[in-house]
Chains A and B, each alone.
Chain A
Amino acid sequence: MENILHLWENTGLYQMQPGQGIMIAIGMLLLYLAINKNFEPLLLVPIGFGGVLANIPGAGLAEHGGILHIFYSVGIESGAFPLIIFMGVGAMTDFGPLLANPRTLFLGAAAQFGIFATLMGAVVLSTFGIFDFSLADAAAIGIIGGADGPTSIYVASKLAPDLLGAIAVASYSYMALVPLIQPPIMRLLTTEAERKIKMVQQRHVSQREKIIFPLLLLLLVAFLLPDAAPLLGMFCFGNLMKECAVVDRLSNTTQNSLINTVTIFLGLAVGSKLSADKFLDLTTLGILLLGMIAFSIGTASGVVMAKIMNKISTKPINPLIGSAGVSAVPMAARVSNKLGLEADPHNFLLMHAMGPNVAGLIGSAVAAGIMINYVTGG
């Protein structure tokens, strides 16, 4: 009888706490969204599954010594996984559209306003005692507005490891929701005539320029903002491997097998942060809300900046490409293209929008560097 009782006490059913049950359901919901609705499946499948694993009562997969905890401490706590992902993203990025029209970098800069506005929002909320965020927490939450998963995870692991689960889930879900969140804001801020603006065909960019650009960027980072060097350094390294065309084997590995391998472990490790005691409170709700605001402000400020540039510049600039300044590559550029086609079926903005899109990636990495510099040094 005692043995049976012992066995019963070891079952999941006996040990299950309501929080864990809810978190398993949330994990399943993420899996459903990924599999059935095709929302960022590459990330939400590992994250969702990791979330379910982490909440199995009594198994302790996410506790000290558990396998998910090991993934977490090896890859995320050390900052390695987001950096390896950034290297892969670098190897997949084509700087051609950006080099053809370097001024689109300003759009990438403007869209980072979402990050800082949200940081301010989080600080104001905790000043009024609604939430209790420190400056580091607020910075990590703001970076969601960059709509750049690896950067968010990197910053969160440095500044606010406790909030990592919520921040990662928020930033990846908003990346998936780009096609839903952005268009209404873009339509609101532009007129029909502005959306019809056609842009000049881009010039040809030579191979030499493409090889030198990552080195130039690296030097600038080295001189001006060493705190962004881990992120942008890996990014430039990946890009140089692609463009120099003498290490195709390395570049292929980085773009494919390596980034895929790391994505699996990154997803599981992020999932391990979805444990009930950390995730199920009002703070998470606040983070999701603030992240959404960050993202919307980023989109809006990108569009407004593009409108200003269109007024000043001699060459026409369609304001729709401004929204691509939030980094979510390449979804944001596709959204710009789609809205351009809606206004005029012959208006192809995709390549023009890739410029600000890549600029946004650089911009949010720079913003991340500044936040880390200010918070840890100041």
Chain B
Amino acid sequence: MDKSSLMSDGFTLMLFGMSFVFIFLTVLVFATGLMSKLISRYERNVGVIPEEGVPSPTAVIPHHEHPHSSSASPADDATVISVISAAVTKFRSRHK
């Protein structure tokens, strides 16, 4: 290989290579962005309470007539508080 063609080959490889690296990674940036957007849309529902309400736990008998109503009544709170405090008392008595 003569010297001038080596030089021009090197130059071509530099231009070609550098632009390809940039093109590849640019495509990757967009593909990754798109992927993240799709997944976050898909996952948006995870951890959010569904509109029809959460079914009440079977071990607790609901005290009110509309178990699926979204607004919490004072009686509801009282049940929750009593259940939690019972659990806390039991936990403390066991771990003393």
Contacts and interface: CB of A to CB of B under 8 A. Distances in A.
A119 B6 CA distance: 11
Given A116-B18, A366-B21, A135 B13 contact: yes
B18 A206 contact: no
Given A206-B40, A216-B32, A224-B27, A123 B21 contact: no
A234 B49 CA distance: 41
A213 B21 contact: no
B35 to A, nearest CB: 6
A120 B11 contact: yes
Interface string A182-217: 000000000000000000000001101100110011
A370 interface: yes
Contacts of B26: 105-106, 109
B91 interface: no
A123 B6 contact: yes
Interface in A113-167: 113, 115-117, 119-120, 122-124, 126-127, 134-135, 138-139
B17 A206 contact: no
Contact of B21 (A120, A220, A367, A375): A367
A135 B3 contact: no
Nearest to A121: B10
A370 B16 contact: yes
A233 interface: no
B85 interface: no
A106 B25 contact: yes
A115 to B, nearest CB: 8
Q: How large is the interface on B (under 10, 10 to 19, 20 to 34, 35 or more residues)?
A: 20 to 34
Main secondary structure of the interface of B (DSSP, over half): helix
A108 interface: yes
B6 A127 contact: yes
Contact of A225 (B4, B20, B40, B43): B20
Contacts of A124: 7, 10
A210 B14 CA distance: 33
A366 B25 contact: yes
Contacts of B31: 216, 220
A212 B35 contact: yes
Given A103-B29, A208-B39, A216-B32, A366 B20 contact: yes
A363 interface: yes
Given A220-B24, A366-B21, A370-B20, A138 B10 contact: yes
Given A103-B29, A216-B32, A216-B35, A374 B13 contact: yes
A99 interface: yes
A99 B25 contact: no
B1 interface: yes
Contacts of A217: 28
A102 B29 contact: yes
A135 B10 contact: yes
Contact of A209 (B3, B9, B36): B36
A9 B31 CA distance: 67
Contacts of A175: none
A236 to B, nearest CB: 12
B62 interface: no
B19 to A, nearest CB: 10
Given A119-B10, A124-B7, A216-B35, A367 B27 contact: no
Nearest to A225: B24
A375 B16 CA distance: 12
29 contacts: A102-B29, A102-B36, A105-B26, A105-B32, A106-B26, A109-B21, A109-B22, A109-B24, A109-B25, A116-B13, A116-B14, A119-B10, A120-B11, A123-B7, A134-B6, A135-B6, A135-B13, A208-B43, A209-B36, A213-B35, A216-B35, A217-B28, A220-B27, A220-B31, A224-B24, A367-B21, A370-B16, A370-B17, A371-B17
